[in-house]
Amino acid sequence: MAVCPACGVEVPAGSTDCPSCHLSAGLFDAVREAAGTSGSADPAFVQTVADLLRSVDLEGTPEPMPAPLLRPSAVGKGPTVLDLPKLAPAKVPEPLAPLPGLPPLPPPSRGEPLRQRAREYLRLGRRLGLDLTSIAARVQAAEASEDDRTLEAASRELFVNLASALTVEFEEELARRNEIGQLVPTPSADVELEAIRGALDGGDIVGADRRLGHVRDELARLEELWATGRILIASCDLLAETIVELGGDPGPALGPAREGRRELVDGKREVGERLLARGAIALWAVLETRFFDELKRLRDRLLELRHGGADVGPALIDLRAVSGELRRRNFVGTIVAYRSLRAFAGTPEGGETTAPVAPESGPEPPSPSA
């Protein structure tokens, strides 16, 4: 009985895919070889990029690349989440409505309560980094002359400026919540965001600011906790997208990545990360042949450009980067460097090829827990 190289589940003889993570059985050997767990000799493509670079770079000899080429622990150590494509949602979070507009002005006040309110607004404005110099001067002059009418007008102007700034911050944190909520629940942040709405409706901008601080802290904690999973998801998305661009079908290798997402959504972070890391290796196993064929095409294009008198120095930097990222066993860095190289050298005649099946299209295979 075979064992799935992605999730470790035993697969009955004759099965077309793993019953747990749905990795195609036809990819088992390729995934083991890519992961360096097959026990076989170094794969032939280990020297491919070094040879390609050597054939076009007449000024230097690259170092040989060690095997194994890929390792789950190295996935995601290159570009940050911000450098990666937009994450495909693992789930749709419960919607939270944006603010309808600026909150109503607070009721008029006089005397010491008015002075305290104006001072509190100025402190909040400084914390928010707003330029309130002219209003602060009017507040100071009104306090000195005990001119409550002028002080009330300045206080209301302060309120409008502060409420506008807090509304912008609310929308920014709501957008962060909606992105993180595609992966994990955000109950604490949701409670605070709804409380902010109530505070602003009641004119309590100081309380709204305090709660926004709680939201920022909670979302930052969740981002840090789930950063590895988010990077791995984006890594798999990028590999699948590149397979499609090169005319392939990532479908047979998408099972582990999809199951990894489901595990993350269910709160099983370690299991999900492990499946996603193996899912990236499975996608690389599908991409490998097409990727190196594409690099050979780009190599030929660089030679053509060089013979025509073009300066291919920038492209050689990208090709060396491809070699270096492979040497560091970094999928995403490899693809990012390749795309820069492709942008310099150009696409095949007729443009990029496409595959008949997109990475996330069509119904997903049923989850084992369904």
Please give the residue that has the higher pLDDT: either 80 or 183: 183
Check pLDDT > 70 for residue 250: yes
Decide if 195 is inside a domain: yes
| Structural domains counted in the chain | 2
pLDDT reported for residue 50: 66
Radius of gyration of the chain (CA): 28
In a domain, 9, yes or no: yes
For the ranges 85-89, 334-338, 350-354, the lowest mean pLDDT is seen at: 350-354
- Would you state the pLDDT for residue 55? 73
- Amino acid 48: pLDDT: 65
Report the phi/psi class of residue 362: left, alpha or beta, with left for phi > 0 and alpha for psi in -120 to 50. left
What pLDDT does 260 receive?
92
Specify if 70 maps to a domain.
yes
CA distance 215 to 199: 14
Asked if residue 123 and residue 75 are part of one domain, the reply reads no
What pLDDT is attached to residue 57?
62
- pLDDT of 364: 47
Residue whose token pair is 């996330």: 360
205 shares its domain with 306: no
In a domain, 358, yes or no: no
- Residue 367: inside a domain: no
Confidence of residue 171 (pLDDT cuts 50, 70, 90): very high
Q: Which of 153-162, 210-219, 303-312, 348-357 has the lowest mean pLDDT?
A: 348-357
- Whether residue 210 sits in one domain with residue 119: yes
Q: Which domain holds residue 306?
A: 2-90+228-345
36 with 122, same domain: the answer is no
Contact call for residues 223 and 180 (beta carbons, < 8 A)? yes
Binned at pLDDT 50, 70 and 90, residue 289 comes out as confident
- Per-residue pLDDT reduced to its tens digit, 3-18: 999 998 989 988 999 9
Judgement on whether residues 161 and 240 belong to the same structural domain of the protein? no
- Give the H or E element holding residue 134: helix 133-145
Q: Could you tell me the pLDDT band of residue 80, with boundaries at 50, 70 and 90?
A: very low
Residue 114 has pLDDT above 70, yes or no: yes
The two tokens of residue 133 are 């110099």
* Range picked from 36-50, 75-89, 305-319 for highest mean pLDDT: 305-319
Contact predicate 230/336, CB 8 Å: no
Amino acid at 179: E
Q: Is residue 244 part of a domain?
A: yes
Q: Whole-angstrom Cα distance, residue 209 to residue 103?
A: 14
Across the chain, mean pLDDT equals 79
Q: Mean pLDDT over residues 95-120, rounded?
A: 81
22 contacts 258 by C-beta, under 8 angstroms: yes
In the prediction, which pLDDT does 361 show? 38
Is 17 in a helix, a strand, or coil?
A: strand
Q: Which residues of 320-358 are buried (b: 16+ CB within 10 A; e: fewer)?
A: bbbbbbbbebbbbbbbbbbebbbebbeeeeeeeeeeeee
Longest dimension (CA), the chain: 91
| Spatial distance between the Cα atoms of 19 and 328, rounded to a whole number of angstroms | 32
Give the model's pLDDT for residue 208: 92
First to last CA, the chain: 25
Q: What pLDDT sits at residue 214?
A: 96
* Winning range, highest mean pLDDT, from 40-44, 86-90, 125-129, 200-204: 125-129
One domain, residues 212 and 236: no
Domain boundary among the residues 201, 225, 249 is at 225
Q: Are 305 and 344 in contact (CB under 8 A)?
A: no
Q: Are residues 132 and 213 in the same domain?
A: yes
The C-alpha angle 178, 180, 181, rounded to 5 degrees, equals 60
More confident site: 63 or 256: 256
Same domain? For 120 and 220 the reply is yes
At 266, which amino acid appears?
A: D
7, 21 in Cβ contact below 8 A? Answer: yes
Q: Which of 197, 225, 253 is the last residue of a domain?
A: 225
Angstrom distance (rounded) from CA 218 to CA 192: 10
Please indicate, yes or no, whether residues 217 and 257 belong to a single structural domain of this protein. Answer: no
Predicted local confidence at residue 35, as pLDDT: 75
Report the percentage of the chain scoring pLDDT > 90. 29
Is residue 60 over pLDDT 80?
no
